[in-house]
Amino acid sequence: AASAASFVVSPSTLVFIAGGIAIVNAPYSAFKEMKMSKIPTLRSMNNALREDANRLEGEVDILSGEIDALIPEANRAKEVEEQLRGIAEQQSVNVNKLVDLVKQNEEILEKMKDNLRQRIVQDIISIVVQSDRDNDQTIDKNEGKVLALKIRLQLQEYGVEFDSE
């Protein structure tokens, strides 16, 4: 309104230029104001950060509890290691040889587990193929029930539980 009044009261080139700039600047200012209103406020960002901090604090508490629960286990493992060293020294056995034997035992156990897994997979494949009585390459509902029962019985031999649900 002041710019329009100055056009009438003082019609000079400088007034017209300043008024033109003001008229052009008004829509741009309104556009920028709208964009700024869409940006999340500092308060909402602060609240979001506070929520994250609270969540992380809870997770730190959980991890601290887990660490506290593991400390006795670590202490017990240290005691067992010391006892094994004592036994090894008493029997004149090299601790490194004992550790190597333990590692070798772990490798053998892993191979045994892998072999068992392979046998289980082979048994299940065999049972599935045999359960398709009409050889139509699909297992219908009745064949599925029989298949689940056969798998459960076969896996019980290996001490593995099969959930047919």
Give per-residue pLDDT as tens, 96-138.
788 889 999 999 999 999 998 898 899 888 888 888 777 787 8
The secondary structure element, H or E, covering residue 37 is helix 13-38
- List, as one string, the DSSP characters of 75-95: HHHHHHHHHHHHHHHHTT--H
Q: So what's the pLDDT on residue 110? A: 93
- The answer to whether residue 145 scores a pLDDT higher than 60 is yes
Q: So what's the pLDDT on residue 112? A: 93
Whether the Cβ atoms of residue 163 and residue 128 lie closer than 8 Å to each other: no
Measure the CA–CA gap between 151 and 153, rounded to whole angstroms: 5
Q: What is the dihedral of CA 121, 122, 128, 134, to 10 degrees?
A: 160
- Structure tokens belonging to residue 124: 């299940």
The pTM is what?
Answer: 0.39
- The answer to whether residue 1 scores a pLDDT higher than 60 is no
Q: So what's the pLDDT on residue 90? A: 73
Q: Residues near 18 by Cβ (< 8 Å), separated by ≥ 6? A: 3, 6
CA 75, 76, 79, 84 torsion-angle sign: negative
Q: So what's the pLDDT on residue 105? A: 94
Among the residue ranges 42-46, 80-84, 151-155, 159-163, the one predicted with the least confidence is 42-46
**Cα–Cα–Cα angle for 21, 27, 29, nearest 5°?**
85
- The answer to whether residue 93 scores a pLDDT higher than 70 is no
The whole-angstrom distance between residue 110's C-alpha and the CA centroid of its chain comes to 27
Q: Residues near 148 by Cβ (< 8 Å), separated by ≥ 6? A: 162, 164
What's the chain's Rg over C-alpha atoms?
39
